[in-house]
Amino acid sequence: MSRLPGTDISWSMRRRLVLAFGVLLIVFLGLAGFVLDRAYKQSVAAAVAERLQLQVYALLGVAEPEADGKFFLPDLEEARFSQIDSGLYGLIYNKDGTELWRSPSALNLNVDPAPMVDSELLPGQTSYGEHSTQDQGALAWASYRTYWEPLDQLFFFVVMESTAPSAVEIREFQSTLYLWFGALTVLLSVAQYLLLRWGLRPLQQLAQDVSAIESGTQDQLEQHYPRELLPVTDNLNLLIKNERERQNRFRTTLGDLAHSLKTPLAVLSTALQEARSAQHFTEQQQRDMSEQLQRMNQIVSYQLKRAVKSNQAVLARPVLLAPVLERITGALHKVYRDKEVSVELMLVEGAQFFGEESDLMEVCGNLLDNAFKYGHRRVQVKAERKGKSLLLEINDDGAGIAESQRNFVLQRGARADTVKSGQGIGLAVVVDIVSAYGGELKIERSEWGGASIKLRLG
């Protein structure tokens, strides 16, 4: 079933208002035009009727009956009565419709007198109408019934006038009306657009601010919103602040948890080593305990690392890639000082990651640590931006990762206790973080034959 337009709540507010104002404007201007047009036509018709009436009176004033029952009208003041086809015609009929007189102008006029000779009309009353002729076009007429006392007869004094001048007048009025209404429509539409723009500006600003927060260029919503929006913006700011604090608290708590869990593990591990040198246990017992300790450690490490990673990139802030990579490679140069690894950073100017810096540190730290550890002398990092995504490539000149192992290390959430010590956790955590940011990771062979880790973040 299709919805009625506008019932879908996802319709934009601008669209709703434009539609509402648009319909209102059309209805209002349409009605106003119609009423004005009607009123003008009526006033023109009234003016014509009045004019015809006056002409009738003029005819009555000069009409003189003759002996043959006809009329003689000398000295007609109105010159148009005397010009043939002038558009103003005078006629006199008796009650049967017999023509008793016609003005010289009506010489060529051919009309049916029937509608004008209305027997129900009382003497002294005028009837009006319109008559269509072949030669003179539409004619408005006024027919006045009069009782002529000396002759004791009823006559109809009829004046007809061409409607062409008033039609022209009406058309001119309509043209002016349309012109003004057109201009008014344009003016009101522009005003409506500007008003909507102005009125919806705070909402537009809110959308921009929210998108700036999403993309990380802004920390929170500014404080200059109108009163009506303040409850929304204040609550949104509070929500953002709480969410950030919650993330930090969560991270700190997990860090403390790691410390609390791992220190006893370290004690147990050293105790076991002492017991081994003192030969307190059989070899099998030592192996079992050592394996179980290692498993516990792996599970704790892996699950904590999974938990500590940021779970959303929505409140991301931009993190410049270069300083993070420089800090990590600087640290790794210290750790792998004996290897004299040369690192080549090929980053596009201002390469940024939209997310938590700790997540970027974890991804780059684990990948670069592997590159330093398994590479011989060369490590290369390439980074470029593609839209909002960051493309990162880390190459080394080590032995590379065998194709048979690639799928295993890429399995998202590979269980920690199935991963052997010393490998896998780092990459598994990287895969988890990359997935959390909706990215992907591929393992290939670098141009030097080592590992090439290619990832897309965001």
Partner 1 sequence: MRLLVAEDEDLLRARLVKALEDNSYVVDSCSNGKTALFQAGEYGYDAAIIDLGLPGLDGISLIKAIRAKGMLFPILILTARDNWTDKVAGLDAGADDYVVKPFQIEEIRARLNALLRRAAGFAKPALDFAHLSLDTTSKKLTVSGDDVELTAFEYKVLEYLMLHPGKVVSKTELTEHLYEQDHDRDSNVLEVFIRRLRQKLDPDETLKPIDTVRGQGYRFNVPATRN
Residue 383 burial (C-beta neighbours within 10 Å; 0-12, 13-18, 19+): buried
**Closer CB to partner 1, 229 or 324, in the complex:** 324
Residue 428 amino acid letter: A
Residue with tokens 């009738």: 56
Which of 121-129, 150-158, 226-234, 304-312 is the region at the interface with partner 1 (rule: CB under 8 A)?
304-312
Give the one residue of 108, 119, 263, 311 binding partner 1; rule: CB under 8 A: 263
Residue 269 binds partner 1 (CB under 8 A) = yes
Sign of the dihedral defined by the CA atoms of residues 281, 284, 288, 291, in that order: positive
Which of 64-72, 127-135, 266-274, 433-441 is the region at the interface with partner 1 (rule: CB under 8 A)?
266-274
Q: What is the DSSP string of 90-147?
A: EEEEETT--EEEE-GGGTT-----GGG--TTSPTT-EEEEEEEETTTEEEEEEEEEEE
The total number of residues shown for the chain amounts to: 458
Residue with tokens 């997310």: 355
**Closer CB to partner 1, 197 or 287, in the complex:** 287
Which of 139-147, 160-168, 310-318, 357-365 is the region at the interface with partner 1 (rule: CB under 8 A)?
357-365
Structure tokens at 458: 């965001």
Give the one residue of 287, 327, 377, 412 binding partner 1; rule: CB under 8 A: 327
Residue 379 binds partner 1 (CB under 8 A) = no
Q: Least distance in Å: CB of 267 to partner 1? A: 5
Q: Least distance in Å: CB of 327 to partner 1? A: 5
Residue 268 binds partner 1 (CB under 8 A) = yes
Structure tokens at 434: 């990359």
Give the one residue of 271, 314, 346, 399 binding partner 1; rule: CB under 8 A: 271
- Name 91's bridge partners: 102, 158
Give the one residue of 175, 211, 235, 270 binding partner 1; rule: CB under 8 A: 270
- The dihedral over CA atoms of 115, 119, 120, 121, expressed in degrees to the nearest 10, equals 80
| Beta-carbon count within 10 A of 178 CB | 12
Residue 320 binds partner 1 (CB under 8 A) = no
**CA gap 258, 387 in Å, rounded:** 37
Give the one residue of 30, 330, 438, 449 binding partner 1; rule: CB under 8 A: 330
Let me know: does 423 contact 298? Beta carbons within 8 Å.
no
Residue 342 binds partner 1 (CB under 8 A) = no
Residue 447 binds partner 1 (CB under 8 A) = no
Footprint of partner 1 on this chain (CB under 8 A)? 255, 258-271, 273-274, 293, 297, 301, 304-305, 308, 327-328, 330-331, 334-335, 337-338, 357-358, 361-362, 364-366
